[in-house]
């Protein structure tokens, strides 16, 4: 893994991060997840069916395929 951050800077970043409240850290993490999700959605082809959209979004988010029975309650 390529690393370009010195140990001192990593320690400073961690110190600053830990000074934030749990609510601030959770809000930041949620915002980062949402931004990543938006980027993934923007990269998907626009003509996907809803089912294929869900499949691809899940795979790109979690790195694994949806379980086979995910759509079991939907009509084809």
**What gap in Å lies between CA 33 and CA 28, rounded to an integer?**
9
The percent of residues in the chain predicted with pLDDT above 70, rounded, is 97
CA distances from 17 to 4, 9, 30, 33, 48 (A): 19, 12, 15, 17, 39
Answer whether 45's CB lies under 8 Å from 52's CB. Answer: no
Residue with the bigger pLDDT between 14 and 75: it is 14
Q: Over the stretch 35-50, which tens digit does the pLDDT of each residue have?
A: 999 999 999 999 999 9
26-30, 39-43, 47-51, 72-76: which has the minimum mean pLDDT? Answer: 72-76
Give the start-to-end residue ranges of the domains of the chain.
21-68
């Amino acid at each position: 893994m390529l690393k370009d951050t010195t140990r001192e800077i990593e320690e400073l970043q961690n110190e600053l991060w830990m000074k934030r409240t749990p609510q601030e850290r959770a809000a930041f993490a949620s915002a980062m997840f949402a931004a990543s999700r938006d980027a993934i959605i923007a990269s998907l082809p626009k003509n996907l069916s809803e089912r294929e959209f869900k499949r691809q979004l899940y795979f790109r988010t979690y790195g694994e395929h949806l379980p086979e029975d995910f759509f079991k309650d939907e009509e084809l």
